[in-house]
Amino acid sequence: MINEKLINAIKNDNLILFIGAGCSSTFNFPSWKNLVSDILDNLDENFSDSSSLNFKNLKKKLENGIKSPLEILREIENESDSGKQYVKKSKEYIFEAFNNATKDKDLSSEMHRLFWEVSSKIITTNYDYILESNDPNITSKNVFTNNNDFLVLQSQKETSEFLYKIHGDYKNPDTIVLFESDYNNIYNTENSNHDALSTFFKNKTLLFIVKDSVAEKHLAEPTARLEK
């Protein structure tokens, strides 16, 4: 049975869907863990001869569950000599990976179309374009990422319809939220993103949709920080 509060939120246009990692998995985009594994392969290919990090060893630790994806990314980012370079290269790799995965692919999805029937207000942590591709009315909505302060603030209006790509857009690597510092900038800093999310938690009903436990962990950690 559907919760009565949820039904009322839908009727009153007060529901925000929060579409998490895993909801694009049917299109063979890499999962959170696999994406980090692929990033390690890419870094190893480009920097193995000069890096103090052993990317192959980090990948084994990831695969064996010794280190989580976030722990692996923390090591990459905090490498004293080349961390900033690794961060930049990792985000560029995400652009290449998603661009290649999307090329000449039909992004039609009944599930994503139904999301828009439930609510005209959606936040997503996914970098891809599946949600945009399955809303025939997408041009009437504000589509923005975490670097657009104006539209982030506009989304708080009662009548606003939007797609808020809070973890960025693969076509704009600078907006991609991947490393710990990226999460801190979004969730732990007093900025427009933090303000908007705080407003949503107070004034809207949020329905979180994820598809696996790894995705839930990826989504829940920064969100829990915000709620505190």
Q: What are 152-185's pLDDT values in tens digits?
A: 999 999 999 999 999 999 999 999 999 999 999 9
Under a CB-based contact definition with an 8 Å cutoff, are residues 63 and 168 in contact?
A: no
pLDDT at 190: 84
pLDDT at 29: 83
Q: Starting at the edge strand that comes first in sequence, how are the strands of the sheet with 142-145 ordered?
A: 142-145, 162-165, 121-124, 15-19, 205-209
| pTM of the predicted protein model | 0.88
In terms of pLDDT, which residue wins out, 210 or 115? 115
Q: What are 88-125's pLDDT values in tens digits?
A: 999 999 999 999 989 888 999 999 999 999 999 999 99
Q: Is beta strand 142-145 parallel, antiparallel or unpaired with respect to 205-209? A: unpaired
Residue 223 has pLDDT above 60, yes or no: no
DSSP output for 76-138: HHT-TTTHHHHHHHHHHHHHHHHHHHHTT-----HHHHHHHHH-SEEEE---SSHHHHT-TTG
Q: How far, CA to CA in Å, does 146 sit from each of 38, 41, 152, 220?
A: 25, 28, 7, 18
pLDDT at 212: 57
Nearest Cα to Cα of residue 122 among 19, 209, 224? 19
Contacts of residue 11, Cβ cutoff 8 Å, sequence gap at least 6: none
Q: What are 39-94's pLDDT values in tens digits?
A: 999 999 999 999 999 999 999 999 999 999 999 999 999 999 999 999 999 999 99
